[in-house]
Structure 1
Amino acid sequence: MKKGLLIVLSGPSGVGKGTILKEFVNDPELNLAYSVSMTTRKMRPGEVEGVNYNFVDRPAFEQAIRDGELLEYAEFVGNYYGTPLKNVEKLRAEGKNVLLEIEVQGCQQVMEKCPDALTIFIIPPSMEELEKRIRGRGTEPEEIVQQRLSKANREMELVDQYKFIVCNEDPKLAASIISLIIKRHME
């Protein structure tokens, strides 16, 4: 059986990674398996344990780091986010194309460990639009909004490290482009 692709969808917070993902994640032609990340942040309204994230406490996450159980991880605004390695390896061995929706810092770790990863960076139409999207969530205090915007500016400087860059002006169009990229790499 052919080993599945490792696909990394990345970009600044608020760029719409999740919205784009919903447009193509269930396309049977793509043979996708979504890798659920682990985090220490609190669950947001509407999120489901094991679907959006595996929510764990800080000591459990730090133990996973020490035990080498994570493909990648990052800490942001006081919370850890990471990808359990064992699940990714299992799914790829089964021939599934594993999709990771992760932060830029985590993608850099994946690129080092898996140079064959298909890396896709989502950019906003403008930084003004990104700020509008982050503020539109209404879920975080101003201090966190400012931290996210500052981090987004730094992350935008790293786009040239990715194999593909897709602008999210229209989530349906962005999803179509990403679907085509994945299909070409499956051939």
Structure 2
Amino acid sequence: MEHAPDQEPSRARPPAKRVDAARNRDTILTAARAALAEAPHSSMAEIARRAGVGMATLYRNFPGRRELLEALYAEQVETVCAAAEDEAAAAASPGAAFTAWLGRFLAFSAGKHHIAQELLAQVDHDSPLFNDNRSRVLAAGRPLLAAAQQTHEVRAELSLEQILDMVIAITGIHGDARYTGPILRAALDGLRPANVDP
């Protein structure tokens, strides 16, 4: 009697509903990111309209505005953390990698400002939401700073916390990128040790 050949365990495909739910979530986040960038106080109804979903679908993915903002905030943190590896692989030197990443961090800080401000009205500043994500950003940036300091491209006495606080302070200056860009470049020039030529 012949035995049927052993079959490999089938890799179950995620149910169609799960795929649709993930797609809806991504669509909502994309729409919310664009809407809030244009008008920080955009309503949930406006976000649903932009995403092309009903309010029931919106609230099934994000039970409230706070949950939506937290997801956007975490998404931005993930982007800036991933950028650390990208810059380390692409830049010509450790100092260039760190400087490029700080530029990405500046864009991240400016982009999340209104989201963070709204969240701060709902959660405590010491909330794990902020502390855990700040820890992730610091963990992503420390290797870049350490490498740049080892090659004497960044002052050894500066900590990553100090440098990021400086960048965050620059995002608080009123003006567009044409105005704040030179300020950031001047600040980054100051990171170099005094005896190192640009």
> Same fold by TM-score, threshold 0.5 exceeded?
no
| TM-score computed with the length of structure 1 as normaliser | 0.29
Higher-Rg member (1/2) = 2
Compare the two structures and name the one with the higher helix fraction. 2
Of the two structures, which has the highest relative contact order with CA contacts closer than 8 Å and spacing of 6 or more? Answer: 1
**TM-score, length of structure 2 as denominator length:** 0.28
